[in-house]
Amino acid sequence: MTNILFSMGGSSGLEWSDFLDICQTCDELGFHGFYPSDHLMQIYAGRGTTPARLDGLTVMAAMAGHTKSLRLGMLVINNNFRHPVITAKMINTLDHVSGGRAEMGIGSGNVREEFDVHGMPFPPFKERAARLDEALSVIKAIWTDEPASFSGTYYSLNEAPQMPKPVQRPHPPIIVGGRGDRTLQIAAKHADDYNQIAPLEEAKVNLARMQAVCDEAGRDFSAMRRSVQIQIKMSDDASEIAAAVERGATLATQQTAYYATPEAQARDSMLLGSPEEIVEQLGRWTDIGVTHFILMTPRPFDRRVAERFAKEVAPHFA
């Protein structure tokens, strides 16, 4: 059986004390990793109990000293917030201070508002995607070559000395996610983990598309992790589950053609109910090929839910 991984992630509304509680709980309970997002402000109202937003990369570096085995990554670094040389240096530093536990999720950035309010340029998607592709080539060169050189349209290196190299060899795992054709091509070229946020039926289609892109690129898709970010509401109270579905349907940012109603899509975008029901739902996801589940941290965080998941759900996939 394929090794199934369970992680947590998220940033919106989390203060330092929240991150500390969540990450240390995940570490103690044997979760694979924690992955905050990379935004300068709250993006979607209602995703957190407050608009609080700390820098995820800085928090993960600090968290290295407060955890022992938890993987520390990002979902996802916004490539247009930093030059890729800086990104490579920061993740490399995280890899060293954590003893080889760093992971890097990275994307092209898709929320124009936070660029506009902070006075940053927001190029068209075609350019953002091209920048992401080049940035990943730059980052991998810095991590693996000595000296590092690269010549592109947007970034270049000219025999740049970059020492020390990461603890993990050849480099920390790279996570790239998305639905668009160009993003799938970038993931097939660079990623160790293909990630998505999508309801089950769409995720199934996206995995098939990714398989085809990998086949064309000569990449073994079976050797890649296949992850999803997914909300969870573990409860034996049917009224709480109904409220979670209603809230999920309201907060959905994109209605797909795979479902007749927002409520049906919300149910297929979440893990809902008792541990037994969640085990059954996870089985449907693993059946389509998902190997890594990043649970969107419930707000407010309840350690008892994480403990119950680790005790009554995760062992079914060990």
Cα dihedral 16, 295, 234, 260 sign: positive
pLDDT tens digits in sequence order for the chain, 318 residues long: 578 999 999 998 899 999 999 999 999 999 999 999 999 998 877 666 788 899 999 999 999 999 999 999 999 999 999 999 999 999 999 999 999 999 999 999 989 999 999 999 999 999 999 999 999 999 999 999 999 999 999 999 999 999 999 999 999 999 999 899 999 999 999 999 999 999 999 999 999 999 999 999 999 999 999 999 999 999 999 999 999 999 888 776 677 889 999 999 999 999 999 999 999 999 999 999 999 999 999 888 999 999 999 999 999 999
What integer pLDDT is reported at residue 115 of this predicted model? 95
What integer pLDDT is reported at residue 46 of this predicted model? 63
pTM value is: 0.95
The domain made up of 5-317 has a fold known as: TIM Barrel (3.20.20)
Helices 125-144 and 181-190, axial angle in degrees (round to 10): 0
Give dist(CA 29, CA 164) in Å, integer: 32
End-to-end CA distance of the chain: 9
What integer pLDDT is reported at residue 249 of this predicted model? 83
User: Which two tokens mark 157?
Assistant: 């290196």
Label each residue of 62-115 as H, E or C.
HHHHHCCCCEECCCCEEHHHCCHHHHHHHHHHHHHHCCCCECEEEECCCCHHHH
Residue 201: Cβ within 10 Å count: 16
What integer pLDDT is reported at residue 252 of this predicted model? 65
Q: Where are the domains of the chain?
A: 5-317
Give dist(CA 131, CA 123) in Å, integer: 10
Strand segments (E) across the chain: 5-9, 33-35, 71-72, 77-78, 104-107, 148-151, 156-160, 174-177, 193-196, 225-234, 270-273, 292-296
The torsion angle over the Cα atoms of residues 225, 2, 302 and 201, rounded to 10 degrees, is 70
Give dist(CA 122, CA 236) in Å, integer: 45
- Spatial CB neighbours of 32, under 8 Å, sequence gap ≥ 6: 5, 6, 7, 70, 71, 292
Give dist(CA 310, CA 146) in Å, integer: 42
CA 218 → CA 109, 213, 255, 289, 317, distances in Å? 27, 9, 33, 19, 30
